Structure 1
Amino acid sequence: MTQTLSYHARTRAPDPGAPLIFAFHGTGGDETQFFELVRQIHPGAGIVSPRGDVSEGGAARFFRRTGEGVYDMEDLAERTARMAAFIAAHKAANPGVPVYGFGYSNGANILASVVMAQPDLFDRIGLLHPLIPWQPVPVDLGGRRVLVTAGRRDPICPWPLTEGLLTWLVDSGADVRTEIHDGGHEIRQGEIAALAELLTA
């Protein structure tokens, strides 16, 4: 099996001059969760939308956890390496094409973990309601645009941890944009608008 087939995914090839966009669903989502949204935001874009291969009570995820906000770090490391190889294979199949990625919740977490391990894979990154409950080491994200969205009252992704991630991104040299609302874990329209700007500007 080639690395591009290591995840079940819904895909579309990019039109000439358009980016390749990876879309990572949240817990319980699948490869269809954001596919049409990307089509609406950037009709010419290539899309790779993989389905998480971990089942938590029937809900698809990208890595295991032992409780809310408690990650199986060994499993995360293994699945981060696997996802990075999957992304790299699709990137190699589209030479010279800008590569963007975004994810929501669990999808944002696997994307962030991949970026921390291999920061050169993506040109632009969107993290919607990420939860990074560990202290990552700084990497070189100079010149990369990163969007972080969050809710200040998000019961799943506590605001202090989001602030910690923002500090890490700035320390790593990223061009950081934020879209913060006063609600919880839901995605609001302002976040969609900020994501559209990230993917099309």
Structure 2
Amino acid sequence: MTASSYVTYRFAGDPGAPLVMAFHGTGGDENQFVGLIREMLPRAGIVAPRGDVCEGGANRFFRRTGEGVYDMADLAMRTERMTRFIAATRSAHPGRPIYALGYSNGANILAAVLFNQPGLFERVALLHPLIPWTPDPQPELADLPVFISAGAHDPICPPALTHALIDWLQGQGAAVEPVITPGGHEISQPELTALQHFMQAGAA
């Protein structure tokens, strides 16, 4: 598989506008966030790959052996593949800022790339990520805007792990914008409002 062989939604947008890379949740596809991005940033380009793992008919970006239990070898391999895809996308759009957003499983693969290569992005939004390990120190995260949202009663992403991720990112010097709502694993309207402000702040 080459770096460009994901099934991918692409929209060029205006040449001077940001390019937003979007990563769907389990069971979603490359179209999941297209309408949302075009509403938030009408001039932006969009690149949204489809996860290349199938779990019971649901698209995902890496394998797992149970809820919250990741196949770490598979995750490492697919993180490397996704890193190449994102790097190739960035190289194909010189001079355009790269924003990225991911939800649930999409947030997890995005975070895994972010931990290794934060220089690929100008702005990152992680919606309901679940990172059950402590990443290695990453000083290149310093000052990078990172949005993290979660539900205080999320049955899939324990709040303790969300707060541990926020603390870790802040410890690396990232400019973290956390949004914790009273809900569960669904994306709530307050999250979307805060996400819109975050994305538009970078594009202003």
Same fold (TM over 0.5): yes
Q: Report the CA distance between 1:35 and its aligned residue.
A: 0.8
* Counterpart position of 2:7: 8
Cα deviation for residue 2 of structure 1 reads 5.7
2:39 counterpart residue number: 40
2:43 is aligned with what amino acid?
G
Where does residue 76 of structure 1 map in the other structure? 75
Q: Are 1:147 and 2:178 counterparts?
A: no
Alignment of 1:49-198 (within 5 A): 49-139=48-138, 140-198=140-198
Residue 10 of structure 2 aligns to a residue whose secondary structure is strand
Q: Deviations over 1:142-162 (max 9, x none)?
A: 121000000011010000000
**Residue 28 in 1 paired to residue 18 in 2?**
no
Query: After superposition, what is the alpha-carbon deviation per residue over 1:26-55, rounded to whole angstroms, capped at 9, x for unaligned?
Result: 000000100111011101101001100000
In structure 1, what is the Cα distance between the partners aligned to 2:198 and 2:86? Answer: 19
> Which SS does the other structure have where 1:22 is aligned?
strand
For residues 156 and 2 of structure 2, what CA distance do their matches in structure 1 show? 35
Unaligned runs of 5+ in 2: none
* Percentage of pairs with the same residue: 61
**Number of residues paired by the alignment?**
200
Q: Which AA in structure 1 matches 2:74?
A: D
Query: SS of 2:170's equivalent?
Result: helix
SS in 1 for 2:146: strand
Q: Distance in 1 between matches of 2:147 and 2:100?
A: 10
Assess, with a 3 A threshold, how the Cα gap between structure 1 residues 59 and 165 changes in structure 2: closer, same or farther.
same
1:14 offset after TM fit, Å?
Answer: 3.1
Match of 2:17 in 1: 18
In 1, Cα distance between the equivalents of 2:6 and 2:172?
29
> Which amino acid is the alignment partner of residue 15 of structure 1?
D
After superposing the two structures, state which structure 1 stretch, 122-131 or 12-21, moved more.
Answer: 12-21
Cα RMSD of the aligned pairs, angstroms, is 1.0
Distance (whole Å) between structure 2 residues aligned to residue 86 and residue 67 of structure 1: 27
**CA distance, structure 2, for counterparts of residue 72 and residue 80 of structure 1:** 12
Q: Secondary structure at the match of 2:35?
A: helix
Unaligned runs of 5+ in 1: none
Q: Secondary structure at the match of 1:76?
A: helix
Distance in 1 between residues matched to 2:173 and 2:13, nearest whole Å: 29
Amino acid at match of 1:90: T
Further displaced range: 93-102 or 135-144: 135-144
